Amino acid sequence: MKRLRPLLPPAFLLGLCVLAYALWAWRMGWYWDDFPIGWIARTYGSEGLARYFSTNRPIWGLLYRITTPLLGTHVVAWQAFAIFWRWVSGLALWWLLRLVWPRRRDFALWTAAFVLVYPGFSQQFISLVYSHFMIVLSAFLASLALTVDALRHPRRFWLSSGLAWALGLMNLLCMEYWFFLELVRPLLIWVVLGDGGRLPFGSSSSRFKQTFLAWLPGMVNFLGVSLWRLFFFHSAVYDTVLLDMIQADPLRALTHLAGRVVHDAWFTTVQVWQNAFHIPTHEELTPNLMRVFWGVVAAGAVSVLGVAWLTRRQGMDEDQRSWFPQPLWIGMFCLLVGGVPAWMADLPLRLTFHFDRLNLSFMLGAALVTLGLLYLPPLPRWVRVILLAVPLGFCVGYQYQQAIVYIRDWNVMQRMFWQMSWRMPGLKPGAVLLSNELPVRHYSDNSLTAALNWVYAPDNRTRQMRYVLYYPSIRLGINLPALKKNLPLELDYLAATYQGNTSLAVAFYYSPPACLRVIDPFVEEGNYTLPKYLRKALPLAGTEAILAEGEPYLPPALFGTQSNQNWCYYFEKADLARQMGDWAQVVALGEAGFALGDYPNDPLERFPFIEAYAHTGDWERALEQTRLAAGIAPVYEVLTCRLWERIAAEVPFSPERDAAVQSVKQALRCDEPRQEPVQESTEEETP
């Protein structure tokens, strides 16, 4: 048992990662920027990745040129890769704190555990992106640990210092998130020199001078990279808003900054706990998932209690309490310098996606302050352990809740592209798809543009990107100049460029469980259930860009597999046949679809069949489907009237046609003026 005891802390940290992030890893996918980066890596290789990262974090982008050829599109492997590096970052922090305070191993372990399941960050499951974040964080923490190791073990001073210098430089060059945390290195050196650490040279110098000498390589790194970032490299993503504010009104800017410092320190240390202690409702989790949630919380707490008992002889030395202020003031300093990147760009902190990524800069400081406060009062050890176990259990539970949301988004995205491929087998080059803001949290229209090109132009290796997907609510006035026909469109996707025209626009609406629906601008002119920006885009909506023939490519690794024995398959194929005027095919698809025993989740899904029955002379069934569609709500009466207006114009004259048309007009009061509803459907707030 004694031989295995050193393995217990790493195993415990790994177990926390598994509980928090791996239970559902096999059902996870790609999210947010995973898709653009993955698509660019597959389509353009290293050259494309270099272009993509050229305006933002070019050195960090080199990591992707190593990893993406190895893992490809194996999304489960990417999840495992991300979890591995999250665990390594925890190990690096545990190692660091053990070296700084070697007699307080329990403090090191619990602080590392808190960082691993920090409730202020929910994006671990965006695996392709954040695995590389965690590589950099691991390098930074290992760099600090090696600096301390060099002081604790002078025999390997030069080796440890050299590795620390290289890994510290990697952090500074790769990204800005932990850039200013480099300034914590001299504080750690100061603490260690006061606790038995020493340099192999200059031992007669003052502690201050020794600290300066030990940090000198890191200081050169910090100043050199700062000059490079300031004068030679400018990020195209983030602007230094704070400097502009100071130039315009120094007093107001500094007052604003002081307020942000206090607010954000409180926010990332205290307010984040509202995430951890959020108890999911039955709308958020099914009964079975709720039981698993409580099981995960309990498992996390029990694991803390178990490890605390097994390592009870490795706790703190109760007779030496002078160290307690050290984690607190170092943690507060980390909060102060960690927030500089967010404050420079004046980016707000949030507890929700996607701004909670900024909380990563505060994570180390928040952990040190939180655990430092917990160790400050002279509590019995068992009380302190319980006060640790319960919150950490709920932190694990919070990450479990987030996993469920990610899985649901992945499933919605996959179903959407399958339905799109059924409805639109092919698209003309240059097409632009306009849609409502989809009911998924972890995808943007920018993310889905990469997936769209993967599906419809899998073999295109030119730098001319074929397609884009836009949310008009976001892009209007930016990438979408106006909602008018025949306007040129252009999007710089960094690795490639899209050039198209609004005349090739296709508008669709997708709100599960209803099927994806290509918008019919004639029928849906009065459809007030559509979001307002999508209604404004009706003048652009058309089907000219949709090709009846094509071979959309949906690799199972990314889009799964879908059975065509479901209602949406028959609806999408019927709507395509309606577009082509193949009324017999629409009727045949309707027969197969209705025979499933499934039913439309949107009344408009009956419209292709109403129109097909009318064109094939089956007026009885046309009227039956009309009653079912129009009876849902008054707005559908208006839309049904529009549909029958087109039927009256396109179906050849017959007494049966006129009788059916008149019947619908009378039943639905089609000739009476209708008042627009006061409450209009709007887009969801942009995340």
Chain segment 262-288, per-residue pLDDT in tens: 999 999 999 999 999 999 998 899 999
Q: Does residue 684 carry a pLDDT above 60? A: no
Q: Does residue 678 carry a pLDDT above 70? A: no
Q: Mean per-residue pLDDT for 34-54?
A: 95
* C-alpha atoms less than 13 angstroms from C-alpha of 536 in its C-beta half-sphere: 16
CA quadruple 655, 661, 663, 666: dihedral sign? negative
Residue 491, beta-bridge partner list: 498
Cα separation, 518 vs 537, in Å, equals 13
Q: Which residues contact 44 (CB under 8 A, 6 or more apart)?
A: 51, 461, 463, 495, 496
**Of residues 318 and 223, more confidently modeled:** 223
In order of 71, 82, 458, 560, the CA distances from 555 in angstroms are: 15, 22, 10, 7
Percent of the chain's residues with pLDDT above 70: 94
pLDDT tens for residues 295-332? 999 999 999 999 888 877 655 444 445 567 889 999 99
Q: Does residue 62 carry a pLDDT above 70? A: yes
Q: Mean per-residue pLDDT for 32-39?
A: 96
Give residue 170's pLDDT.
96
Cα separation, 519 vs 539, in Å, equals 11
The 8-class DSSP code of residue 269 comes to I
Q: Mean per-residue pLDDT for 440-467?
A: 95
Cα separation, 116 vs 126, in Å, equals 15
Give residue 549's pLDDT.
92
Q: Mean per-residue pLDDT for 372-380?
A: 87
Q: Does residue 683 carry a pLDDT above 60? A: no
Give residue 318's pLDDT.
47
Residue 30 pLDDT grade (very low, low, confident, very high; cuts 50, 70, 90) = very high
Q: Mean per-residue pLDDT for 58-74?
A: 95
Cα separation, 621 vs 624, in Å, equals 5
Secondary structure class of 647 (helix, strand, coil): helix
ω before 354 within 30° of 0 (cis)? yes
Tell me the backbone φ, ψ of residue 428, rounded to 5 degrees: -70, 140
Residue 508, beta-bridge partner list: 435, 518
- Whether 572 contacts 419, CB under 8 Å: yes
Residue ranges of the chain that CATH labels 1.25.40: 568-687
Cα separation, 66 vs 81, in Å, equals 13
Nearest to 151 by CA among 188, 183, 184, 182: 188
DSSP string covering 147-161 = HHHHHH-GGGHHHHH
Give residue 647's pLDDT.
93
Please tell me the chain's helix, strand, coil percentages from 3-state DSSP, rounded to the nearest 5.
65, 5, 30
Cα separation, 412 vs 429, in Å, equals 26
**Maximum average pLDDT range among 149-158, 421-430, 629-638, 640-649:** 421-430
Q: Does residue 200 carry a pLDDT above 80? A: no
Nearest to 215 by CA among 248, 191, 246: 191
Q: Mean per-residue pLDDT for 503-513?
A: 95
Class of domain 568-687: mainly alpha
Give residue 105's pLDDT.
85
